[in-house]
Structure 1
Amino acid sequence: MHLKSFCFLSVLFVCELSPVLCKQDLVKVSLYYESLCPFCRQFVTQELYPGYKKIKDFLLIDLVPFGKANVTKIDGNWEFKCQHGPKECLGNKIQACVLTKSFQKDSKIGFVYCMMNSSDPGKISIAESCASNNGILWRDIVDCVQGTQGDDFLAHYGDVTNDLDPKLTYVPHILFNGIFNATLEDLARDNFFKTVCGLFNTKPDACN
């Protein structure tokens, strides 16, 4: 069976079992990820972002850059331990600052794509360049990145991640309309655009 046909039939099957996932005018996509995770970088750059560009007016994108990190508060300060080391913690913090502040949706998602598509998503100079390329002034986020505000933002994303049910055990971890479905996640990792197109009540023209 052709891959696209298999994807479509699989989505239909999921929709029959869990109708709340489907028949929506807007689809919310929640991605739980880490800045240096190679599979997360692949999904963002090759699946999520290209699909978003095609049907962005019909998607609500919720990005949560924390993943399998750990966070504790010691003497009033947040301390993070990330799966891929301190540089990943910095990369997560940089993205947390941009995602939490009131920039335009396109700017936020474009920034995350730029970072995840770069040679080093945990490097300040690359973050400055990605900010500039997406209409974000570095001065509007530098204090967040270098100070405690960014730690607070990242700790919040840690709370959001740790509150998941079922619990996160790997990344990337993908929810549709606030619900985890393993079949949809597997399909989305292979073909995000086709998978999400199957969840609309009325498909955007780009899906046809």
Structure 2
Amino acid sequence: MELNATRPSRAVPPVSVTLYYEILCPGCRGFISQQLFPTWTMLQDIMTVTLVPYGNAKACIIHLTGHSAFQIIYCMESAANVLNAAQPCLQLYAPSVSWARVSSCVTGDLGNQLMHANAVMTRALSPAHTHVPWVTFYGGVKPPACNGAPVRLNRSSC
């Protein structure tokens, strides 16, 4: 099926979604793999996602991989074992980033700095978070799908 919708105006800033989460939390894993990533996949033209993990390896992967980070995190979070999936997911989505660089980040000062920055961002939440996953939204204009507008599907694409 194809979605028959108009593209949003590029003059409108995208909706900014920030997710504060713990890397091994089952609820966070489910939210990322079953809700946030599929939504981002459909709405990435009008949506930006910032991930603020509590977990050193995740912070390093996000820092080192840039635009591929969300796909890597999704790959890891949807795997049976998050930590065992890290290296294969990194190689799949960011083959130019070596596992040695991630490991060096995790065990070095950079990893500690990244985790500290994430802790500062989390502590600055207002209102303060009471659980994870914790999601914040800023900016943008609601697309028709969020306003209850009917969406017409083109079913002739088989």
Q: Same fold (TM over 0.5)?
A: yes
With normalisation by structure 2, the TM-score equals 0.75
CA distance in 2 between counterparts of 1:201 and 1:98 reads 34
Q: Give the number of aligned pairs.
A: 135
Query: In structure 2, do the counterparts of structure 1 residues 140 and 130 end up closer, same or farther at CA, with 3 Å as the change threshold?
Result: same
Aligned to 2:35: 47
Question: For structure 2, which runs of at least 5 residues remain unmatched after alignment?
Answer: 1-11, 152-158
Match of 2:92 among 133, 152, 156: 133
- C-alpha root-mean-square deviation of aligned residues, in Å? 2.5
Q: Report the alpha carbon displacement of residue 201 of structure 1 after superposing the two structures with TM.
A: 8.1
The separation in 2 between residues aligned to 1:104 and 1:173, in whole angstroms, is 22
**Unaligned ranges ≥5, structure 1:** 1-23, 67-91, 179-195
| % identical equivalent positions | 30
CA contact (8 A) 1:25 1:200 kept: no
Task: Render the CA deviation track for 1:90-111: whole Å, top value 9, x for unaligned.
Answer: xx1111012223x342x10001
Map 1:38-187 onto structure 2 (within 5 A): 38-66=26-54, 92-101=55-64, 103-105=65-67, 107-121=68-82, 123=83, 125-136=84-95, 137=97, 138-177=99-138
| CA drift at 1:151 | 1.5
More helix by share: 1
Q: TM-score by structure 1 length?
A: 0.58
2 CA distance for matches of 1:51 and 1:202? 12
**Residue-by-residue CA offset, 1:65-124 (whole Å, 9 max, x unaligned):** 02xxxxxxxxxxxxxxxxxxxxxxxxx1111012223x342x100011011112222x2x
- SS, match of residue 157 in structure 1: helix
